[in-house]
């Protein structure tokens, strides 16, 4: 009788544990994450690769590109740039690896292709980002509000009264026609609300990637070299216009290529 009773109790206990575990798993797999969190393949909420990478069910998942890009843009690589920003920098805490990877998930061509090509492109992108933002310190152009950057001849994306289109974001998006086109592509009102580029970190990175994919991607992936991307971003620096800025961009590019274990290739300078 004692043996039978103990077995019965043990059996009931095991059943209870299994049911409890199953209930917890089912609850977890429902996710119901906050909008800024990813639902992982196992049904739990978070923001790291384990949640937003492979198998991510909902939320700001990295997407087809972001998954492979995440393997290259590691925490160590990204934080190696971001940690150089001082405590008083506006970009401190704004520019995050999670926001970048979420944005990258919307651009399947970025960082794709052969390993060397992908690593070279990512090194080039972050070289310009580092130069433009002072190692992810600045969200907005210094004294940007004092500049108009309104092309009144552009009728497709006309300037809105009271709005300014100075540099904002990782690649310092500038001019009304860029804000208008980027907003139309990404899904925000760039002409009426240019400030969102300095307030929403995912949109901010998306504008940089939008500009990159439209102006720099083919140059670096087709073998034209890093110099061609300098000319695409700020051609006035080339041919003696600002040798110091060119050298800064090139130095960052060489450094990041070294970190990512890839040869920088030819035509490095413009």
- Dmax over Cα atoms in the chain, in whole Å? 96
CA–CA dist 245, 131 (Å, integer): 8
Residues whose CB is less than 8 angstroms from the CB of residue 157 and which lie 6 or more positions away in sequence, other chains included:
176, 177, 179, 180, 181, 190, 191
> How far, in Å, are 113, 118, 141, 144, 262 from residue 71 at the CA level?
14, 11, 31, 35, 15
Q: How far apart are CA 227 and CA 246, in angstroms?
A: 9
Concatenating the DSSP letter of every residue in 8-38 gives HHHHHHHHHHHHHHHHHHHHHHH----TTSE
132 is catalytic: yes
Burial class (CB in 10 A: 0-12, 13-18, 19+), 259: middle
Q: Catalytic residue, from 132, 140, 141, 237: name it.
A: 132
> Catalytic residue positions?
132
């Amino acid at each position: 009788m004692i043996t039978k009773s103990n077995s019965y109790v043990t059996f009931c206990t095991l059943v209870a544990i299994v049911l409890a575990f199953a209930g917890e798993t089912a609850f977890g797999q429902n996710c119901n994450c906050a909008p800024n969190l990813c639902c992982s393949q196992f049904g739990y909420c978070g923001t790291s690769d384990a949640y937003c990478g492979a198998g991510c069910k909902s939320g700001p998942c990295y997407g087809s590109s972001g998954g492979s890009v995440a393997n290259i843009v590691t925490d160590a690589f990204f934080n190696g740039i971001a940690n150089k920003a001082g405590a008083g920098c506006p970009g401190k805490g704004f520019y995050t690896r999670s926001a970048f990877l979420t944005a990258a998930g919307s651009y399947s061509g970025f960082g794709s292709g052969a390993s060397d090509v992908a690593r070279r492109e990512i090194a080039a992108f972050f070289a310009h980002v580092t130069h433009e933002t002072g190692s992810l310190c600045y969200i907005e152009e210094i004294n940007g509000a004092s500049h108009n950057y309104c092309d009144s001849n552009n009728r497709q994306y006309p300037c809105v009264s009271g709005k300014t289109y100075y540099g904002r974001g990782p690649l310092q998006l500038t001019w009304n026609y860029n804000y208008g086109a980027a907003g139309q592509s990404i899904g925000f009102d760039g002409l009426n609300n240019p400030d969102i580029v300095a307030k929403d970190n995912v949109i901010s990175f998306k504008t940089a990637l939008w500009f990159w994919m439209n102006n720099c991607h083919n140059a670096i992936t087709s073998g034209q070299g890093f110099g061609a991307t300098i000319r695409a971003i700020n051609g006035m620096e080339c041919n003696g216009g600002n040798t110091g800025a060119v050298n800064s961009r090139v130095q960052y590019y060489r450094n990041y290529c070294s970190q990512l274990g890839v040869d920088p290739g030819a035509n490095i300078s413009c």
